[in-house]
């Protein structure tokens, strides 16, 4: 008797949980930034964002923020062989090209020693400096600049 009750109970529980699982399979009806596409489905890609050719300088949001790149950089090579950014923003050419000079902080190595040229750890510009596309923020936020930069 005890055994059969246990058996019935376990079968009922298994069935219920089975239903529950089948109800909540995949995204379980929860909409996210990914939309309502199921996990196993490939969602249609969003259109690519376009980087404007030129835009007004984008102001910093916090102190020591790496300045953002206000122009497009398609096919600008930054590699062991060549650095297209430095051909305008390096100190040698910046004035003639009317470009912003790279900051003096880029000449120090990690021991705070000042070098004669750009420090290798600062060579790959795009690690910190990035372009901006005219994209709508994915989620709202209430970020404000620090007072000193407002």
Partner 1 sequence: MKWIINALKGFWTILRRPSKAAVGIVLFMGFAGGLIFWGAFNTGMEATNTEEFCSGCHAPIVAEIQETIHYANRSGVRAICSDCHVPHAWTDKIVRKVQASKELFAYFVTQTINTPEKFKERRAHLAEREWARLKKNDSLECRNCHNFDYMDFSEQSPRSVRQHSTALASGDNTCVDCHKGIAHKLPDMHKVDGWQ
Name the residues that contact partner 1, by CB under 8 A: 53-54, 71, 74-75, 77, 79-83, 86-87, 90, 92-93, 97-98, 117
3-class state of residue 112 by DSSP: coil
Torsion (CA) 37, 43, 44, 50 in degrees, nearest 10: 100
Please report how close the Cβ of residue 113 comes to partner 1 at its closest, in angstroms: 20
Which residue lies nearer to partner 1 by CB, 37 or 93? 93
CA distances from 28 to 19, 68, 138 (A): 13, 39, 22
- 32 in a labelled binding site: no
Buried residues in 59-91 as b, exposed as e (16+ CB within 10 A): eeeeeeeeebbeeebeebebeeeebebbebbbe
Which residue lies nearer to partner 1 by CB, 37 or 90? 90
Please report how close the Cβ of residue 92 comes to partner 1 at its closest, in angstroms: 6
Which residue lies nearer to partner 1 by CB, 75 or 142? 75
| Binding-site annotation, residues for heme c | 71, 85, 88-89, 106, 125, 128-129
Binding site, residues? 71, 85, 88-89, 106, 125, 128-129
């Amino acid at each position: 008797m005890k055994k059969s009750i246990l058996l019935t109970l376990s079968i009922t529980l298994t069935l219920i949980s089975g239903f529950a699982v089948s109800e909540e399979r995949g995204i379980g009806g929860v909409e996210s930034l990914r939309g309502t596409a199921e996990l196993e489905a490939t969602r249609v890609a969003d259109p690519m964002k376009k980087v404007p050719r030129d835009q007004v300088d984008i102001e910093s949001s916090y102190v020591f923020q790496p300045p953002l790149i206000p122009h497009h950089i398609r096919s600008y090579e930054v590699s062991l062989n060549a650095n297209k950014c430095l051909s305008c923003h390096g100190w040698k050419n910046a004035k003639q090209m009317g470009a912003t000079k790279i900051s003096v902080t880029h000449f120090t190595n990690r021991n705070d020693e000042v070098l004669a040229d750009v420090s290798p750890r600062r060579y790959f510009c795009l690690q910190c400096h990035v372009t901006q596309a005219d994209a709508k923020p994915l989620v709202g936020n209430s970020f404000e600049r620090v007072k000193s930069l407002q």
